[in-house]
């Protein structure tokens, strides 16, 4: 069966489809010994031999993990500085990667998988998949600033906003819950930073249908096929 090369790479768990395209453009992918840089290139997944940096790629069974990320771990699969990685916390023989990113000091919901299509579905802006965060600020958020963040402020040259903002405890406007469909790097911290606030603690309490309220910090659970399909059904457009 013929499939596009970038789709094959993502389905093999190499990376998300967009990241796989970077590998192709950079000339790191070969098919039957020939380097391929054409993003539209298709392969016969039954017969063609595909390699990344000269190493043959094998198709893998899809796996999905829900981690309650602790502080002090980075959300990349490689680090030249030798820092602790979130993949170190998952006991699996599969080559997995995190879905999106959480900062080094941010905790909470993080999904890891070898399914590039699922990762792309969750992170693609068009799907508007909600993320909810628990935020501790250095000072109380004023009503005026709350309204600004809900109506929209300019970030990266475009209007950006939170969908909801409310206190975690009645009257405590330095301890908040915010909901957003944005997945840009450091989005929550940067949004508050525009108005002069500093985020002192940040915990992602949910990502789409996934929550970690029953999973201890630093622990994880394996997701079932049905749980993954529920996410697709909930947010498919």
Domains of the chain: 2-56 (3.10.290.10), 64-118+217-235 (3.30.70.580), 130-207 (3.30.2350.10)
Mean pLDDT of 108-116: 93
Classify 178 as helix, strand or coil: strand
What is the pLDDT averaged over residues 3-28?
A: 86
Q: Tokens representing 122?
A: 């969750």
Give the E-state strand segments of 18-130 in sequence order. 29-31, 34-35, 42-44, 50-52, 55-56, 64-69, 97-98, 107-113
Q: Is the predicted pLDDT of residue 60 greater than 80, yes or no?
A: no
Our answer to whether residue 103 is catalytic in this structure is: yes
Please check the confidence at residue 24 and state whether its pLDDT lies above 70: yes
Comparing 14-18, 40-44, 117-121, 145-149, the range with the smallest average pLDDT is 14-18
Average pLDDT of the chain is 92
Structure confidence at residue 142 (pLDDT): 95
Q: Tell me, what's the pLDDT at 42?
A: 93
Which residue would you say has higher pLDDT here, 177 or 7? 177
Predicted local distance difference test score (pLDDT) of residue 177: 97
Catalytic residue among 26, 44, 48, 103: 103
Q: Is the pLDDT of residue 62 over 80?
A: yes
């Amino acid at each position: 069966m013929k499939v596009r090369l970038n789709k094959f790479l993502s389905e093999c768990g190499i990376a998300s489809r967009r990241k796989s395209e970077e590998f192709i453009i950079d000339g790191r992918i070969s098919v039957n010994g020939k380097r391929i840089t054409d993003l539209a290139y298709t392969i016969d997944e039954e017969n063609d031999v595909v390699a990344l940096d000269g190493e043959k790629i094998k198709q893998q069974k899809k796996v999905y993990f829900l981690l309650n990320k602790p502080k002090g771990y980075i959300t990349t699969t490689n680090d030249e500085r030798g820092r602790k990685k979130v993949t170190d916390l998952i006991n699996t023989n599969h080559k997995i990667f995190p879905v999106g990113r959480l900062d080094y000091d941010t905790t909470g919901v993080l999904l890891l998988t070898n399914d590039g299509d699922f990762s792309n579905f969750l992170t693609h802006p068009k799907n508007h998949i909600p993320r909810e965060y628990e935020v501790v600020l250095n000072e109380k958020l004023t009503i005026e600033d709350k309204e600004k963040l809900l109506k929209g402020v300019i970030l990266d040259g475009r209007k950006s906003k939170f969908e909801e903002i409310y206190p975690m405890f009645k009257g405590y406007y330095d301890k908040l819950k915010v909901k957003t469909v944005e997945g840009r790097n450091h989005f929550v911290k940067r949004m508050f930073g525009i108005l002069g606030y500093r985020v002192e603690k940040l915990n992602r309490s949910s990502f789409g249908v996934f929550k970690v309220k029953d999973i201890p910090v630093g622990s994880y659970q394996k997701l079932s096929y049905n749980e993954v399909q529920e996410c697709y059904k909930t947010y498919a457009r």
